Amino acid sequence: MRILVIDPRFGAAGDMILGALLGLGADREFVLRSVASVSKPEITNVLRAGIPATYIRTNTKKTTRNLSEILEIISAADASEQAKDIAKKVFTRIQNAEASVHQTEHVHFHEVGADDAISDILGSVSAILSLNVDAVHILPLSTGMGTVTCSHGIMPVPAPATAEILKASNLAVSLGSFEGELCTPTGAALLATFQEVFGTTVHSGKLLSSGAGAGTRDPSDHPNVLFAYIMDTGDEAGSVDVLETNVDDISGEVLSSVLSTMMNEGARDASVIPIVMKKGRPGYLIRVISLPRDAPRLAKILAHETGSLGVRCTPMIHRFIADRTIASTSVVINDRVYSVDVKIASMDGVVYSRKAEFDDLQRISDASGLPVRTVKRIVEEDVWKTP
């Protein structure tokens, strides 16, 4: 499994993210084509506090736009539909933050509505897609401290829009550390959207490649650089995440539906366990077993399906997995031949379990008139005779 790990310990901005992804080996032609309608980026190698990094200069003019104008530009871009959809999510996230800060739905973007921001966002999304990673893990993000001057005057760091974006995200944040604005609204919105769309808790494995994206400034007390890495985590089949939530206001029919939904969405297993909750209330523990790459997505589905205010995630639990095969065999019952699938489990080459598929047992029971438990005994006694 290929994991993109993003390290924004020294902050994040659109140009830094795009530079880091290009430094990792993202498809430059693909990226440049996606932003050609709004910019003609100049890509150079620079030093920031002595660290080599990729710097992006978009060569665009300042402008002010509203969300509908920005979405039209994105729709017309020469980019994949997936890239356009994700880029629109990024700008909608910024729109929601600005609307919350200014208490109005009629938001005009200033700094983040300029063509350079559109270029950075479309380019970054196209770049991450071209890297063909399975998931993204984002380390804690530094915001900086002090004040910043913007179109609305002097503002605290993090700027109000940045703070709103971070509050609505699942990103881990580190306040303070260095003077100045380390994280811009564009950087926060990109990382928050990457976390939402591609996020995973997995972040360890063999280091395959690294990249660094430079910001414009070159301060003396820290490198103005965002780091990114691609890791190979190997075969994840032996590790799972465990998702859990407690509920006490759901009917049995809804619980059954939740389990079916989780399995259909890719969970490895799902179960409901009766529990006694606070104040002696009866309730249920819903437990979902998930591959690490699917955990963030399944957690959101579980919260949506149950109305739960939170889903606990225990990451990377190692599990024992037996060698398993499914064999099709035949069995004779009342002079009639039936086919049945049998799940065979072995360890170190020794078979220790042979279980007939229940749907086949039910089908044979209906056809023969025998109880399912009788059919099960006949079938499994017969299959155990097979070497």
Lookup: tokens for 305:
């399906």
pLDDT digits (tens, 9 = 90+) for 252-294: 899 999 999 999 888 989 999 999 988 888 999 999 998 887 8
Supply the pTM of this predicted model: 0.64
Q: Round the average pLDDT of the chain to a whole number and report it.
A: 86
DSSP code, position 176? B
Task: Provide the H-helix boundaries in 135-240.
Answer: 160-167, 185-198
pLDDT score at 246 = 94
CA distance 33 to 123: 9
Could you tell me which residues come within 8 angstroms of residue 3 by beta carbon, excluding any fewer than 6 positions away? 133, 134, 135, 136, 137, 200, 202, 203, 205, 230, 231, 232, 233
pLDDT score at 109 = 53
- Cis status, amide bond into 158, omega within 30 of 0: yes
β-strands 225-232, 206-214 pairing: antiparallel
At residue 202, does pLDDT exceed 70?
no
Angle at 259 (CA atoms; ends 258, 262), nearest 5 degrees: 85
- Residue ranges per structural domain of the chain: 2-232, 239-318, 323-383
The answer to whether residues 186 and 121 touch, using CB atoms and an 8 Å cutoff, is yes
Lookup: tokens for 123:
């380019």
Q: Which fold has domain 239-318?
A: Alpha-Beta Plaits (3.30.70)
pLDDT score at 352 = 85
Average pLDDT over residues 223-250: 85
Average pLDDT over residues 136-164: 82
The answer to whether residues 124 and 190 touch, using CB atoms and an 8 Å cutoff, is yes
pLDDT score at 317 = 66
pLDDT digits (tens, 9 = 90+) for 41-86: 899 999 998 999 999 998 877 777 788 888 999 999 998 888 999 9
β-strands 336-347, 323-333 pairing: antiparallel
pLDDT score at 387 = 65
pLDDT digits (tens, 9 = 90+) for 156-173: 878 888 999 999 888 999
pLDDT digits (tens, 9 = 90+) for 352-368: 888 888 888 999 999 99
Q: What CATH superfamily is the domain 323-383? A: mk0293 like domain (3.10.20.300)
Q: What percent of the chain stands above pLDDT 90? A: 44
Could you tell me which residues come within 8 angstroms of residue 318 by beta carbon, excluding any fewer than 6 positions away? 238, 239
Element (H, E) at 382: helix 372-383
Closest CA to 122 of 143, 99, 91: 91
At residue 113, does pLDDT exceed 70?
no
At residue 237, does pLDDT exceed 80?
no
Lookup: tokens for 141:
């993000």
Could you tell me which residues come within 8 angstroms of residue 360 by beta carbon, excluding any fewer than 6 positions away? 338, 339, 340, 341
pLDDT score at 301 = 93
Could you tell me which residues come within 8 angstroms of residue 267 by beta carbon, excluding any fewer than 6 positions away? 288, 289, 290, 294, 298
Q: How many residues does the chain have?
A: 387
pLDDT score at 150 = 66
CA distance 101 to 96: 9
Lookup: tokens for 231:
């890791």
**Dihedral sign, Cα of residue 182, residue 188, residue 194, residue 195:** positive
